[in-house]
Amino acid sequence: MTTPTHNHLDYAEEAESAERGEAWPQAAALWRKAANALRETAAHTEATFDLHAKYQAAAEECDRKERVHQLIERIASNVLHIPTLAERKLDSLDFHEVGVWQIKKALAVAYEAGRNDAN
């Protein structure tokens, strides 16, 4: 039995699907596979280089979104004492009572993280 081969367009389509599901690490990996498949199989033209750059930029954007997601999760856990931001479809797990001082601290931590990331 032969295994089906994927071309760069297949990987790009899967990456877009992963992005819609906010599966950032998977999407980044698929964008990189698309870039590698394109580099290995396509003629080296200006259009190919542009598409390769587009795939690489998409992978980097997914990496950035994953870093932001992880930071928000850490703030929720460490500052607001919310164990996860995943929706669990149960009011007692999805709604949390937090003090305004906790919200203020969480926003300050997020602000500082954004400032540090910009530098």
Q: Tens of pLDDT along 11-68?
A: 999 999 999 999 999 999 999 999 999 988 867 788 889 999 999 999 999 999 999 9
Amino acid at 62: C
pTM: 0.80
SS3 (DSSP) at 95: coil
Residue 3's pLDDT is 55
Between CA 41 and CA 58 the distance in angstroms is: 20
Between CA 41 and CA 104 the distance in angstroms is: 52
Domain ranges of the chain: 8-118
